[in-house]
Every structure is written in C-alpha cells, then in structure tokens.
Amino acid sequence: MQFRTQASITIGAPADRVWAIISDDFGDIGHWCSDLAASRSIAGPGGDKVTCRRCTPKPGGLFGHQDVEEYLVENNASIRCLTYKATKVPKQFKNALNRWCVEEVSATKSKLVISPEVEVTPLFGFMFKLVSGRLLKRVLEDCKYYAETGTPHPRKMRLNQMLGRPH
C-alpha cells in the first residue's frame, strides 16, 4: 500500500532558523522530536556524516525497537528543501521517502511543509493510515516548539525523563 500525504505548520521563527534545525542539524532530530528516543549522525555514502542519521524510536512507538537509518537524497538550501530516504526500516515498510520544505512567511514567521511517501505491507497499511496523521502533527508541533523556544516540547522532556536522560 502506497501513502502520500502532506502536512504543514506556521512557525513563529525566521525561515533560516527552521532551516538550520532541519538541515544543518539533520543528525540531531532526536534532540527535539518526541517520537524518537535518540538520533545521531552516522557515516553515509562516502563517509560523510552530514548526510546520514540513525534514529532510535521511542519505546512503544510505531517502528518498534528497530533503529531506522535515513540519508539525504536532496539538500537544496537555495529553496530550503531537503528529501531523505529511510533505509534499514522495519519489515512492514517497503519504501519511505520524506520531503521537508521551509517557506518564508515574513521576517519572523515561516511555514514548514512535510510531504512523506511511504509504501507499507498491506496488513500494516490499515494501522499506518490510522496513526500517520497524528505522527505528522506531533513532528510539526515538536519542530515549531523547538524553533520558537529553543527547548524541546514538554512531551519530549517527559520522554527524556522516562528514559532517565537530562532535559
């Protein structure tokens, strides 16, 4: 089953700040995303650590306990868009590609647009369809909160506390 969707959020922070969070700090998404226990940059094709990350899902999350690796296939700073492909995904995922774009609304506001394309096994498709909208909403809210305040969302702070981690 193939899923394509799009979600967006307006953020009270300049587009360059949001772009830096998602692009320059690509490997650090686990610092602010509440659906991840952790993330880190890893060596990608050619040994480049800027273009590849390993994400550890939160306990009880959609991905189970299996780490997911994601690598950039596009990183275009001039239009503030990046696309990454997930590899080493749980067996219920056949293919996963995600595009994030930051649009400038004003000098102090931006819009983050996320456009995932996911192919999953038919049995998993029904469940994925039920939860994918909530997942996208949480990721957008987490990024918005982090961009506007400089600190992770309270639900990420609760996850860190549950995992015995600072902040």
* H or E element in which residue 53 lies: strand 52-57
C-alpha span between 17 and 36 (Å, rounded): 21
Domain ranges across the chain? 2-155
Answer whether 0.85 is exceeded by the pTM: yes
> Residue 43 to residues 10, 47, 49: CA-CA distances in angstroms?
33, 5, 5
The CATH architecture annotation of domain 2-155 reads 2-Layer Sandwich (3.30)
The amino acid that residue 141 corresponds to is: E
> pLDDT in tens for each of the 167 residues of the chain?
888 889 999 999 999 999 999 999 999 999 999 999 999 999 876 665 568 999 999 987 665 678 889 999 999 999 999 999 988 776 777 788 999 999 999 999 999 999 999 888 877 666 677 677 888 999 999 999 999 999 999 999 999 999 887 76
